[in-house]
Structure 1
Amino acid sequence: MRKPVDIMATDFRALEVLVRVYHLGSFTRAAEELDLNQSVVSYTIEKLRGVFDDPLFVREGRQLIPTPRCEEVVIAAGDLLAQFAGITAAGAFDPSSSTDTITIACNYYERALIIPHLVHAMRAEAPNIKIEIVDASYLGHDKLMRMEADLLIGPFVQLGAAFYSRTLYEDPYVCMMDPANPAAKGPLSLEQYLALEHVYITYGGNWKSRYMQVLEAQGHALSIAMRTPSPAGIRNLISGTELAVTVGARLSRHLGEGLFLTPCPVEAPVAIQMVWTARTHESAMHKWVRNHVVQTIRATA
């Protein structure tokens, strides 16, 4: 029989230790960052193991692996710590004196079209704020839940009540090809589009672009000659060839210099979303960041 544990003896400091060990994957590094003795960190984790009736971390070789229960606790603890910080912090946020860090998850599209303008606008008001951009790939929502990112920007569908989201804009797809391509004469019919040899951008994972989803739902399949994880360098890939690539219209203006551009015959605009969680929902700083995202989109539309 499990020994009764006084859960009210668990404090925010203990939860902070747990969260730090989880993210750093090390008792030693967590102790260094928190300016604690490693024995204190070890004792705290051992105490929390009793509270949650779970080992929380197990060792596999030289790695410290969190258990599924640990991941659940860390997500909940992050929300609690953020809410408490919001209660105790001053109601107003002063960008001019802030040295806080904001972590944004996104992919190539957003890094090319949105992030540069956003960073310039934010740092004009908050010159000492720290900004970290991390790759979202197709795991953006997981990065939010694991507190590896504060904000997610991209064509990500909201998944469940744990997330807040706002549609920033919709971007129709266009097809890009070398001007010497025999198909580069005008608008493409669906039959002409399907007959092309395509470069398909996978965005580094299991992501499936919206136009591809619509094509498959209609029973069509593209002839894919090449797959690439990113649109970076795409112009050089298709120049001088009969290959074609499908990208968002805004991105085509960034990448398509010297190429023939025509609307994609698949009616499937991609919705660019801004997604966040309850952890940052009421934070004055994060409201300021989200407002800047919206203003940046309006200014660059």
Structure 2
Amino acid sequence: MVNQIVDPLSLDFATLRTLCTVYDAGSFTAAAEVIGVNQSAISYTMERLRGVFHDPLFVREKGQQIATDRCQQIIAQVRPMLATLQRLARPEEFDPKSARHTLRLACNYYERMLIIPLLVRELRRQAPGIELVVVNSRGTGPERMLRGDSDLLIGPRPTTQTGVYVSRLCREDYVCLMDPAHPMADRTLTVKDYVALDLIDITYEGNWVSSYITELQAMGHRLRPALIVPSPAGVSHLVRGSTLVATVPRRLAQAMGEGLRIVECPVGGKFDITLMWPPRFHADAMHQWMRGVVIGLRRELGSAGKPKSAGARPDP
């Protein structure tokens, strides 16, 4: 007979598994051996189940526990639930060849020039069904990513942002891009030489202060640029045939500076380009694969960072 009424929401999957085990084993004793508990634990669990389902569930006939009709109905519903839970508990598998997914990646001009082409090449080769949507991070990439505006972020490592995962892709520093006919094109620049040049100040729309500027300010220097622009896009055309000098990351200078001279900046201003992702995607199989593809580009990014002009410093 049923001795108590139990809230059905108090049941857990282990309790339901016990019900199925008793049904399969045919006795409380045999079920206890299968699960690895004593018989009193089985009896206690069965009393709770009887209180939930308002049915004796098993009756003893000829020395065996015989399931009631109500018990058989319950077992038929419970088994698929347990099977679904076990299936969900298995590590998720991801097949890039058959995957169909849209992934939003936030970055800026540097990454669109140097990293996105490499990434698209790998996606076309390994996972042609993944659609990549690139959005502008505009200096607030980590915050926007945490809000759900993007799935991944590639860019300079944030100095204060918390709550995101970060992996370094490469180390960068700054060089000077100038016309080959510039009077200082074949000189080793000192800080005094540098601050006297016709400099282009790239403001990154106010969303990023270049580390070389921070270092110069710490030395007590204040730049008086000849030209201020919001982005590095197009600065190679501004430099060509003029006395203007653009201070840009080394890899970017090599990508955009064909026919121009790359001269070492006396203030390198090293910084990291990183891959960032939010906690919500950390254990996701597709995102784990995607991060592996991006991180796998480190070797090519390292090669791109090797200097092409005499006297240049290698990427550490």
TM-score normalised to structure 1 length: 0.68
Identity within the alignment, %: 42
The offset of 1:277, in angstroms, is 1.1
Per the alignment, residue 157 of structure 2 pairs with 156
The offset of 1:236, in angstroms, is 0.9
The offset of 1:156, in angstroms, is 2.8
Q: Tell me how far apart the structure 2 counterparts of residues 158 and 287 of structure 1 sit (CA, whole Å).
A: 24
Per the alignment, residue 26 of structure 1 pairs with none
Per the alignment, residue 275 of structure 1 pairs with 276
Q: Deviations over 1:238-297 (max 9, x none)?
A: 112111111111111111111121111003212101111101111111111111111122
Q: How large is the Cα RMSD of the aligned pairs?
A: 1.8
Q: Tell me how far apart the structure 1 counterparts of residues 280 and 89 of structure 2 sit (CA, whole Å).
A: 15
Is 1:221 aligned to residue 227 of structure 2?
Answer: no
Q: Tell me how far apart the structure 1 counterparts of residues 219 and 256 of structure 2 sit (CA, whole Å).
A: 29
Per the alignment, residue 137 of structure 1 pairs with 138
The offset of 1:90, in angstroms, is 6.3
Tell me which of the two structures has the higher relative contact order, counting C-alpha pairs closer than 8 angstroms and 6 or more residues apart. 1
Per the alignment, residue 95 of structure 1 pairs with 96
Question: How do residues 14-53 of structure 1 correspond to structure 2 at under 5 angstroms?
Answer: none
Q: Retained in 1: the 8 A contact 2:176–2:265?
A: yes
Residue aligned with 2:158, SS? coil
Q: Tell me how far apart the structure 1 counterparts of residues 191 and 202 of structure 2 sit (CA, whole Å).
A: 19
Per the alignment, residue 179 of structure 2 pairs with 178
Question: How do residues 229-268 of structure 1 correspond to structure 2 at under 5 angstroms?
Answer: 229-268=230-269
Per the alignment, residue 7 of structure 1 pairs with none
Q: Tell me how far apart the structure 2 counterparts of residues 174 and 89 of structure 1 sit (CA, whole Å).
A: 50
The offset of 1:88, in angstroms, is 7.6
Q: Tell me how far apart the structure 2 counterparts of residues 218 and 158 of structure 1 sit (CA, whole Å).
A: 21
Letter in 2 for 1:233: G
Residue aligned with 1:275, SS? strand
Q: Retained in 1: the 8 A contact 2:142–2:161?
A: no
Per the alignment, residue 191 of structure 2 pairs with 190
Q: Retained in 1: the 8 A contact 2:201–2:227?
A: yes
Structure with larger Rg? 2
Unpaired segments of 5 or more residues in structure 1? 1-86
CA 1:88–1:230 in 2, change beyond 3 Å: closer, same or farther? Answer: farther
Letter in 1 for 2:286: M
The offset of 1:211, in angstroms, is 0.8
CA 1:204–1:160 in 2, change beyond 3 Å: closer, same or farther? Answer: closer
Residue aligned with 2:225, SS? strand
Per the alignment, residue 295 of structure 1 pairs with 296
Q: Retained in 1: the 8 A contact 2:175–2:268?
A: no
The offset of 1:215, in angstroms, is 1.1
Letter in 2 for 1:216: Q
The offset of 1:138, in angstroms, is 0.8
Letter in 1 for 2:187: G
Q: Tell me how far apart the structure 2 counterparts of residues 135 and 239 of structure 1 sit (CA, whole Å).
A: 28
Q: Tell me how far apart the structure 2 counterparts of residues 271 and 138 of structure 1 sit (CA, whole Å).
A: 15
Per the alignment, residue 21 of structure 2 pairs with none
Residue aligned with 1:149, SS? coil
The offset of 1:299, in angstroms, is 3.2
Q: Tell me how far apart the structure 1 counterparts of residues 90 and 244 of structure 2 sit (CA, whole Å).
A: 55
Per the alignment, residue 210 of structure 1 pairs with 211
Q: Deviations over 1:37-63 (max 9, x none)?
A: xxxxxxxxxxxxxxxxxxxxxxxxxxx
User: Runs (4+) of structure 1 moved beyond 4 Å?
Assistant: 87-90
TM-score normalised to structure 2 length: 0.65
Count of paired positions: 216
Residue aligned with 1:91, SS? coil
